[in-house]
Amino acid sequence: MEKVFVTVGTTKFDQLINKLLENETIKLLELLGCRKLVIQKGFSPGEIFSSSIKSTGIVVEIFDYAPSIINHIKEADFVIGHSGAGTVLDVLRCGKPLLVVINDSLMDNHQTELADKLSSQNYLKSCTVSDLLTALQSFNVNSINKFPSPDFDKFPTFLDSLF
């Protein structure tokens, strides 16, 4: 878990960004072997670093948005993200271990359903912001199933069978 990438996509997820920048979380990440923490924060503030973050062995890089986050995902050893379908599928298709943090402050949160379903099939692990530290401590990369590659022949085959 040397390089950790965090993404909130195009959303504003202040609770997650703030939790990640807390001293307790930074210390835990350092204990877990993190040396670089890259955070895509969207509209969340996340600009104030405490002196304890600077005194750890973790290099922290924060940015708002990028045209694509695929390279950040590919370079990461571990990804923490919101439960947006695009983000989840990108991470799983890149074969990276994923901890999804559910934004339970959203109304009609369909993202919870996606996270729960994929978590029940062991493609990822999910938690809420309040459970983040426990989820990080107990995350076992070896318990994660490999996400299947898409079958691009399925739909054309289905169409052929109709005609």
CA 111 distance to own-chain centroid: 13
Q: Which of 3-7, 11-15, 41-45 has the lowest mean pLDDT?
A: 41-45
Residue 158 DSSP one-character state: H
- Tell me the C-alpha to C-alpha distance, in Å, between residue 86 and each of 10, 39, 83, 89, 91: 11, 17, 9, 5, 9
Q: Tokens 């695009």 label which residue?
A: 86
The pTM score is 0.88
CB atoms within 10 A of CB 64: 10
pLDDT (0 to 100) of residue 124 = 97
pLDDT (0 to 100) of residue 161 = 85
pLDDT per residue as tens digits for the range 22-78: 999 999 999 999 999 999 998 877 555 544 466 678 999 999 999 999 999 999 999
pLDDT (0 to 100) of residue 152 = 82
As assigned by CATH, the class of the 3-162 domain is alpha beta
* Exposure of 19 in the CB half-sphere (CA atoms within 13 A): 20
pLDDT per residue as tens digits for the range 129-149: 999 999 999 999 999 999 998
Identify which of 108, 130, 136 has the alpha carbon closest to the alpha carbon of residue 29: 136
Q: How confident is the model at residue 105 (pLDDT cuts 50, 70, 90)?
A: confident
Residue 56 DSSP one-character state: S
More confident: 160 or 8: 8
Q: Which of 7-11, 26-30, 111-115, 145-149 has the lowest mean pLDDT?
A: 111-115
Mean pLDDT of the chain: 88
